[in-house]
Structure 1
Amino acid sequence: MKASDLFVQCLENEGIEYIFGVTGEENADFVQSLQHSERIRFILTRHEQGAAFMAEAYGKLTGNPAVCLGTLGPGATNLITGVADANMDHAPLMVITGQGATTRQHKESHQIMDVVGMYEPVTKWAQSVHHPDSIPEIVRKAVRTARGEKPGAVHIELAENVARMETSVQPMEPRRFRRPGPDDKISDQAYDIIRRARAPIIIAGNGAIRKRASNQLRALAKRTGIPVTTTFMGKGAVDYEAEYALYTIGLGQWDYVADAVRDADVVITVGYDLVEYPPLRWNPDATETIVHIDFDPAEIDFEYHPEIELVGDIAHALWQFERRFARDGVPDYDFSVQRDARARMRADIEEHAGDDTEGVIRPQKAVWDVRRALGPHDILLCGVGAHKMWVGRHYHCREPNTCLIPNGFCSMGMPLPGAIGASLVAGERRILGIAGDGDFLMNVQEMETARRLDADITMLVWEDGGYGLIAWKQDEHFGSHTDLAFSNPDWLHLAAAFGWQGRYVANARDLRGALDDALNHPGPSLVVIPIDYRENLKLSKKLGVFSDQ
C-alpha cells in the first residue's frame, strides 16, 4: 500500500477519532488517504493554532490523543503554541506536519525549515519518517509516549515523497501496560510520617484528576478528614462541597488557603506539577515536611525537597494509605486553621452573589452565576487573563475534568477552539467557555468552525477593552500601566455575521437568565458582559501584591 494509507491505518488501530487542522500541498497524500477512513473524522479549522487547542481539550477530557495537522513551514509554526500548551499542561496530543521532499531538505528551498528541531523543546518526542516501513513503529511509539505519564505532545513529520512510497508492512497491534505502584516499605514510611503529624494537608494537582486517582483521593479524605486543596488544573479532584475541601491554591497573592498550608506540619502532594504553582509561593522558607505522591520522581527545587517520594500509580498509593487508616483508625488531628480558611474563602465566594449592579458586572458575580448555571458534570473552559484569576479563585467543581484552565504554558486563545473540541467529546453536557475580550479575539476565526459543525457551545466574553491582567500587575508594581487598551467589534453584529446567537448583558440581575438562555439554545451562542475590573486592585489590597515567582 501507499505509505500515507499505512499511516492512516496505524492511527485507526490506535483508536484515533479526530484530526483537526489545515491541509496543504505537502500533506495532500495523507489527507487523501484520510478521506477513505471510516473511523477517523477530519475537522477543517480556520487556523492551525485553533486545531491544536481543539486536540488539547479532547486529550484532557479523554486521556487519549487527538491529532492536529499542518503543512510545512508556516503551518507547522502556527501549530506550535497550542502544542506547547498541551505539552506543558500534560494533555496527550499528536501533531503531524507535512514536509518538502527529502531530495531538497539538505539545501535552501521553498518553506523548508527544521520542523523536528523546532518541536523538540515543546514535545515529549519528535520524529521524521525517513522510510515508510518505519511508520508502524513510529506511530505506536508516539501514541504510547503521548499517553504515558506524564502525558504530553508528540510530533511526527511526513515528507511528501515518503508519503507516496509503497510499503508492504502492516500496522502494529496496540498493547497497554499498567504502571506499578510504590512498594509497601515506602508506603509504610510515608504512612508513619502522616500518622505522626499534627495537621497534615493535601495539595492535589493536575495528576489527581487523571485515571482512578480522584476516586481514591476522595476515599482517603473522607476516611481521615485530611483537608484537600487543589491547584487550578486539579479542580474537581475532590467535591468542593465536601467539608474537607479547601477550594484552590494558585493565585499569585497570598490567600486564605496558603494560611492553612503554612499551618500544616506535613504537606502531601498528589499529582502536583511545579509548573502549575511554584513551591516558593507556598513553602518560601523550605521548612515544610513534604510527602510526594506522583507518577514521576519530584522535580529538583530548593523549596520542594520531599522527605519521601511515592513514585508510581497515584491511585494505588492513595488506596494503600486509605486501607492502613481503615485498619488503624484516624489520629486526633487539629484542623482548626484549615476549617477557618475554608469559612473565610466561602464567605468571599458568596459575598457578591446577590449583586444588582447596572452598566458593569463584578467578576465575583459573573463566576457565581456561571457556577449556578452549570451542572456538576458540565464543562467550563477558561482562558488566560484577569478572568482566569477570578475563575481560579471563585469557580469550584464537583467532578474532575469539568474545568479546563491552561496554567502551565498559559497560552491565550484556548477557550473557543477548546470548547469546540469538548463538544465533540461531551456533546450531551453543557459546555461554556470564559474568555476576556483580548483572549477571545486571538482565535475569533473559529466562530465559523463552530457554526459549520453546529457546535452546541456558549462563549461568555468579559469585556474591559484592554489586556486586564497585565494592567493589574503593572498597577500593583508601578501605580500605573502602559498603553494596553484596544477597541472591540460590535459584538452582536459579530455574532450575527458568523450565524451565532448573541446577547450583550449590561446589568448583573440579567446575567443568570442570559446564561440559561444561551446554554439552552441549540448551536453556538455568544454572551458578552462589561466587567468591573476595579475589583482587581481591591483583591490585591485584601491579599497582597502578585508575586513574580
Structure 2
Amino acid sequence: MNDVASSGAELLVRCLETQGVERLFCIPGAKVDKVVDCLVDSTIETIVCRHEQNAALMAQATGRLTGKAGVCLVTSGPGCTNLTTGLATADYEGDPVVALGGSVPLADRLKLSHQSLDAVSLFRPITKFAAEVTTGHGVTEAVASAFRGAEQGRPGAAFLALPKDVMEGPAPFASPSRTVNVARLGSPDADDLREVAALIEQAEVPVLFLGMLATEPRVAEAVRELLRKTAMPVICTYQGAGVVPRDLLPCFAGRVGLSRNQPGDQLLDAADLVLTVGFDPIEYDPGVWNRGKSRPIVHFDKVPAETDADYWPMIELVGETASALTGLASCLAGDRNFSRLPQLVAARGELAARKELGAKYDGSPIHPLRLIHEIQQMMGDEGTVICDVGSIYMWMSRYYFAFNPRHFLTSNGQQTLGVALPWAIATCLVRPGTPILSMSGDGGFLFSAQELETAVRLKANFVHLVWVDGSYDMVKIQQEPKYGRSHAVELGPVDHVRYAEAFGATGLRIANPSDIRPTLVKAFGIGGPVLVEIPIDYRDNPTLFESVHPDIGH
C-alpha cells in the first residue's frame, strides 16, 4: 500500500492495522465489499462466520481475553440488526468490541432504498459509542473514537456505520501513525485510603466483593497482593471468577449471583463492611443482597457507582483501581488474619461439603456435580472453561473453581444463550495450544451450533460438551413453583454425535460417570473441534432457585 489511502475502505483498514487489530470476524455483503477487498492486502486475518450475532460474540470473547477491542464487520440492514444481541451482551458485560456495519449510500439515507436502516439510532442505546462515517476524511477520527469508547473506562461496545459511497469514494489522506492513547486514570486520594484502612481495622467481618473488572490483569494482581497482606474474606460474582488463586483459597467463600442462597451469601449477610472491586449491579442486583442493610460500602472501580437505593457507597475510589488497592495494602498493618472467622469457615465448609458430595454421585443420567468434579480434576490452571447460559451456568458458576482470571467465561449480565461455541472459537485463536473446554445445554447449543462449520474450517482445537435433558430447564424450574406446571419448555431429541459428524467434526457420547474422564482424555487428544453429548440429571435444579427474591426472574 502507498502512504496515502485511495479510498475510505483502504483508510479504514489501515486505521484498524494501526490499532493493532490482528483478526476480524466477518459476514460479507455488497455494502461492505470494498472493505472486504481491502482486507485482502492487509495484515488482518478475516474470519468468515455463519451468523452476525456469532461474529459479534467472537469479537466479544476476543475483547474479554485480551483487553483490546475485538472487531466484527457485517453488511447493511439485517446484517446490522443481527448484531444487536452480541453487542448488548458485550456492552453490559464490560467487554470491548468495535462493530463495523455497512450502510446505504448517503444520498439514499432518507428514502426507502434496499436495506436502508438508521443503524446508529438502533445501536446507540446498547453501545458506548455509535456514529456514521459521512466523509472520507472522517474515517480516522471515527475509528479512533470507536476504539477509545470501547476500551476506556468500563469497556463495552462501539458501532460505526459505513455508507457504501464513503467506503468506495476517495480518501486521499495518510493513515494514522500510532494508536489512540489510553487516558491515564487518577491516583487514589491518600486520605480516602487511610479512611478505608481504618474501616477494615475496625470491622468484625469485612468482605471483599469482586466483580467483572476485578479480573483485569493488573487489578487481579493487586487484589492478590492485598489479600496476602490482610487475609480478608472474599466472594465474587460469576464474572469475577479466577482472581483468587489456589494459595488464597482459605479466604474464598465462593461465587454469588441471581439467587441469595449460597454459602457466600451467608457470609455477605454477616458482613459489617463490604468492599467492592470492579462490581456492576447488573452482575448481582443489590436489591437482592443488600436491601435493608446499613453497613458501609466502599466502591473501587474505573467509574463511579451506578445510582441505586440499595447500593450507596460511603466511599468511592474511582480511577486506577490497581493503584488504589496497592495503596490500601500499604495502609494496612497486616496483623489481622480473618481466615478463621466463624462465618468464613462455615461458608467454606458448606461449599466444600457440597463439592465433595458431588464426587460420589453415580448413575445415569449424570448429576452436574459429578461432571463438575471430573472436569475440575482434569483442567489445569492454564485451561479455559467456557459455559453457556441456563441451569448449566448456575451449576458451573457455583461449583467449578478457576484459579486465573478470565479462564472461566460465562454470560452473566445479559445471560445470553448460545455464547459458548463462538467464544470457544475465539479463545482458540487467542490462546492457541492451551486446553479449551466449552459447554452448553441442549437448548442453548442450537442457538449458535452453525458455527461448528467455522470451527472445523479453522481447525480449532477445543472440546464442547452438550448437557442433554430435553428442555429449557432454567425456565421450567421457575414456572413450576409459580404455576404448579410448566409450558413451552420441552424440546425434541437431537443426535449430537451425528450432528457433529455432518459438519466434519468428531462426535462422542458419555453414558455413565465412569466414561467421563476417559472420554474427555480421548477428546482432547483429537485434533479439531470435538462435540461430546452427555445426559444430565437435573433433579436437584429446583434448589438453584430456593429463596429467590420474588422480583427476580430469568
* Superposition TM-score tier, normalisation by shorter sequence: over 0.9
State how far apart, in whole Å, the 1-side matches of 2:414 and 2:27 are: 23
State how far apart, in whole Å, the 1-side matches of 2:61 and 2:337 are: 42
What's 1:168 paired with?
172
Matches of residues 319-358 of structure 1 in structure 2 within 5 Å? 319-325=326-332, 328-331=333-336, 335-358=341-364
> Could you tell me which of 198, 206, 210 is aligned with 2:204?
198
State how far apart, in whole Å, the 2-side matches of 1:376 and 1:475 are: 39
> Do the aligned partners of residues 293 and 348 (structure 1) sit closer, same or farther apart at CA in structure 2, a change above 3 Å counting?
same
- Name the amino acid aligned to 1:248: R
Helix, strand or coil: the match of 1:419?
A: helix
State how far apart, in whole Å, the 2-side matches of 1:81 and 1:251 are: 21
Matches of residues 397-436 of structure 1 in structure 2 within 5 Å? 397-436=402-441
What's 1:258 paired with?
265
Note if 1:526 corresponds to 2:531.
yes
Cα deviation, residue 181, structure 1: 2.4
Cα deviation, residue 329, structure 1: 3.6
Cα contact 2:361–2:369 (8 A) shared by 1: no
Residues 236-282 of structure 1: per-residue CA shift (max 9 Å, x gap): 01125621112211142422211111111100101111110011221
Cα deviation, residue 2, structure 1: 1.0
What's 2:192 paired with?
186
State how far apart, in whole Å, the 2-side matches of 1:113 and 1:177 are: 34
Cα contact 2:456–2:529 (8 A) shared by 1: yes
Helix, strand or coil: the match of 2:461?
A: coil
Residues 474-509 of structure 1: per-residue CA shift (max 9 Å, x gap): 123223211311113222211111111111111111
Cα contact 1:17–1:66 (8 A) shared by 2: no
Matches of residues 45-444 of structure 1 in structure 2 within 5 Å? 45-172=49-176, 173-174=178-179, 175-239=181-245, 242-325=249-332, 328-331=333-336, 335-358=341-364, 360-444=365-449
State how far apart, in whole Å, the 2-side matches of 1:68 and 1:501 are: 28
What's 1:535 paired with?
540
> Could you tell me which of 456, 476, 495 is aligned with 2:500?
495
What's 1:548 paired with?
551
What's 2:18 paired with?
13
State how far apart, in whole Å, the 2-side matches of 1:156 and 1:116 are: 8
> Could you tell me which of 456, 463, 466 is aligned with 1:451?
456
Cα deviation, residue 318, structure 1: 0.7
Q: Which runs of 5+ in 2 are unaligned?
A: 1-5
Cα deviation, residue 168, structure 1: 2.1
Cα deviation, residue 332, structure 1: 6.5
Pairwise CA RMSD: 1.4
Cα contact 1:46–1:445 (8 A) shared by 2: yes
Cα contact 2:505–2:530 (8 A) shared by 1: yes
Cα contact 1:57–1:422 (8 A) shared by 2: yes
State how far apart, in whole Å, the 2-side matches of 1:106 and 1:343 are: 64
Cα contact 1:240–1:247 (8 A) shared by 2: no
Cα deviation, residue 547, structure 1: 4.8
Cα contact 2:386–2:439 (8 A) shared by 1: yes
Cα deviation, residue 229, structure 1: 0.7
Residues 1-45 of structure 1: per-residue CA shift (max 9 Å, x gap): 1111010000000001111020000001111111110x2100000
Choose 310-319 or 333-342, whichever is displaced more.
333-342
Helix, strand or coil: the match of 1:455?
A: coil
Q: TM-score, normalised by structure 1?
A: 0.96
Residues 118-176 of structure 1: per-residue CA shift (max 9 Å, x gap): 01011100010000101111111111111112001100111111111112222232233
Cα contact 2:505–2:529 (8 A) shared by 1: yes
State how far apart, in whole Å, the 1-side matches of 2:550 and 2:70 are: 36
Cα contact 2:385–2:437 (8 A) shared by 1: yes
State how far apart, in whole Å, the 1-side matches of 2:150 and 2:66 are: 13
Cα deviation, residue 406, structure 1: 0.6
Residues 407-454 of structure 1: per-residue CA shift (max 9 Å, x gap): 111111110011001100001211111100110101111010000000
Q: TM-score, normalised by structure 2?
A: 0.96
Helix, strand or coil: the match of 2:106?
A: coil
State how far apart, in whole Å, the 2-side matches of 1:409 and 1:190 are: 32
State how far apart, in whole Å, the 2-side matches of 1:83 and 1:417 are: 14
Choose 333-342 or 469-478, whichever is displaced more.
333-342
- Name the amino acid aligned to 1:383: D
Cα contact 2:99–2:159 (8 A) shared by 1: yes
State how far apart, in whole Å, the 1-side matches of 2:482 and 2:212 are: 30
What's 2:481 paired with?
476
- Name the amino acid aligned to 1:305: W
> Do the aligned partners of residues 545 and 150 (structure 1) sit closer, same or farther apart at CA in structure 2, a change above 3 Å counting?
closer
State how far apart, in whole Å, the 2-side matches of 1:332 and 1:347 are: 24
Residues 325-374 of structure 1: per-residue CA shift (max 9 Å, x gap): 2xx3434757211111111111111212132213x001111112122221
Cα deviation, residue 89, structure 1: 0.6
State how far apart, in whole Å, the 2-side matches of 1:332 and 1:408 are: 33
Cα contact 2:299–2:305 (8 A) shared by 1: yes
Identity among equivalent positions (%) equals 35
Cα contact 2:27–2:48 (8 A) shared by 1: yes
Helix, strand or coil: the match of 1:268?
A: strand
> Do the aligned partners of residues 466 and 240 (structure 1) sit closer, same or farther apart at CA in structure 2, a change above 3 Å counting?
farther
What's 2:3 paired with?
none
Residue-pair matches, total: 543
> Do the aligned partners of residues 451 and 199 (structure 1) sit closer, same or farther apart at CA in structure 2, a change above 3 Å counting?
same
Helix, strand or coil: the match of 1:198?
A: coil
Choose 268-277 or 254-263, whichever is displaced more.
254-263
Helix, strand or coil: the match of 1:247?
A: strand
State how far apart, in whole Å, the 1-side matches of 2:408 and 2:544 are: 23
- Name the amino acid aligned to 2:331: R
State how far apart, in whole Å, the 1-side matches of 2:79 and 2:165 are: 18
Cα contact 1:68–1:95 (8 A) shared by 2: yes
